[in-house]
Amino acid sequence: MNWKGIFLAFAAALMVPSGASADTIKVGIVGPFAGPFALAGKNFKLGIDAYRALNGEKVGGKIDVEFIYRDTGGPNPAKAKALAQELIVKDKVDYLGGVYFTPNAMAIAPLLEPSKTALVVFNAATSAITQRSPYIVRTSFTMWQNTVPMAKVASAMGLKKIITTVTDYGPGIDAEKAFKKTFESLGGSVPESIRMPVKTTDFSPIMQRIRDSGADAVFAFLPSGPPTLAYTKSFIDNGLRDQGIKLLTTGDVTHEPDLPALGERALGIRSTYHYSLAHESPENEKFLAKVKEIAGTLDEVNMCAVGAFDGMHVIYKMIEATDGKRDPDKAIAAAKSLDWKSPRGPVRIDPQTRHIRQNIYLREVAKKNGKLINKEIQIFADQPDSGLAPTQ
C-alpha cells in the first residue's frame, strides 16, 4: 500500500469517533465469489448465514450487523488489497472477514493497523499470516497444524521413503517443510520435494516423477478446488494407486465436494484435517442441519463453511465485548481468550498467535449410506500452530 492509501484508510477510521456506538456494525467479507474457486466464497456465505440463523441476526439481541461481500477471484493480492481498502475507506466497515488465499491475506494485513480494522481469516492457512498484523485472528487451520500429524501417521504406518508434492506458494511451502521436518525427525526420508506451479492443470508429468522416485508414498497439498480434483484423478488414472503407492494428504485434497467425482477409487485415501462433514457431535449435527436448510443440499459444503461459522462467533464476541464501538484493541483482546465448541470439536484462540487451537483428525475416505465421506479414525488433540514455534 502506498502512503496515500495508508493515510486515506487512517482518515476513514478516524471518521468513526472512538467511543461512539454504531447502530449497525459493518463487516466486509472478501473471498472468491466467482471463477474457479467460487465454491469457497459460497461456503463463507453459508457459514455466516448458518451462524446468524442459529444465533440471531442482532448481536446480543440489539446490535445490527450488515455484510458487504467482495469478490477477489483467485490468488490476486493487488485486487484483494484494493477491495479491502475500498471496504475500509468507502464502505467504512468495522471488521473484515473471509480471505481464502494466503497471498491475499498478506496483501490486506498492512491496511489493518493504520485503519484500526480487525480481520478474521476464515481460511488462508500459511502460519506467518497472523504475524503480519496484531489485528488478525484466524479460525481456519494452518498447514503445520494439519501436516505434522500426517507425518506422524506416515511413520506409524511403517513408511520409510516419501516424496512431497505441493503447490508452489505459501501454504504449500509450509506443508512441505512441516512434513519433511517431522517425518525425518521420526527416521523417515524425503528424497525429493516437488513444488508445482499454481497454474498447473496437467499432473501427468508429476505422477511420472513420483513413480520414478521409487517412493513408498507421496504427500500432497494443493488448494481445495479444481487443482485438488485434477491431482487426485491424475494419481488414480495414472495407476499409482494400483501400483501400491500411498497418497497421504491434508484434507484440502480430499475436501468433500471432490469425492463424488473421484468415486470408489478414492476409498481408503488418508488425510489429516481439522474438519470433516462426517464429524460426529451434536454441534456438527445442528450446524449441518441449518446449512442444509439454507443451501438445500450438503453436496457443495467444505471446510470454508465451518471456518466462516466460527469466524462469525469470534466477530459476534468482539462486537459484544466492545458494545458496538470501534475499538480493535479491545476486540482483539476479547478474541484472545475465547474457547467454544465448534462443529469441528473443542477449539480456542491461542492468545500468543491469535490462531485457533483444535483437534486434528486422521480420516480415511469411506462409504456411508451410499455416499463417500471422510471418516475420522484417530484424534490428535488440541494441536497448536507449530509453524510459528518450530520446536513444538
d(Cα 163, Cα 235) in Å, to the nearest integer?
14
Confirm or reject binding of residue 147 to ligand PHB (CB under 6 A). no
- What contacts 307, CB < 8 A, 6 or more positions away? 44, 47, 122, 123, 139, 140, 141
246-250 and 162-167 strand pairing: unpaired
Q: Which is nearer to ligand PHB, 8 or 83 (CB)?
A: 83
Q: How far is the CB of 14 from ligand PHB (least distance, A)?
A: 32
Confirm or reject binding of residue 171 to ligand PHB (CB under 6 A). yes
Strand partners for 368: 371
Confirm or reject binding of residue 227 to ligand PHB (CB under 6 A). no
Q: Name the segment binding ligand PHB (CB under 6 A); options: 10-18, 66-74, 122-130, 263-271.
A: 122-130
d(Cα 105, Cα 140) in Å, to the nearest integer?
13
d(Cα 257, Cα 309) in Å, to the nearest integer?
18
Query: Which of 126, 182, 232, 358 touches ligand PHB by CB under 6 A?
Result: 126
Confirm or reject binding of residue 159 to ligand PHB (CB under 6 A). no
Confirm or reject binding of residue 145 to ligand PHB (CB under 6 A). no
Confirm or reject binding of residue 102 to ligand PHB (CB under 6 A). yes
Query: Which of 252, 258, 327, 376 touches ligand PHB by CB under 6 A?
Result: 252
Edge to edge, what strands does the sheet with 63-71 contain? 58-59, 63-71, 24-31, 95-98, 118-121, 136-138
Residue numbers 61-100 binding ligand PHB by CB under 6 A: 100
Q: How far is the CB of 89 from ligand PHB (least distance, A)?
A: 25
Confirm or reject binding of residue 223 to ligand PHB (CB under 6 A). yes
d(Cα 297, Cα 347) in Å, to the nearest integer?
26
Termini Cα distance of the chain: 34
Q: Name the segment binding ligand PHB (CB under 6 A); options: 60-68, 120-128, 229-237, 271-279.
A: 120-128
Residues that bind ligand PHB in the complex, under the rule CB under 6 A = 100-102, 123-126, 171, 223-224, 252
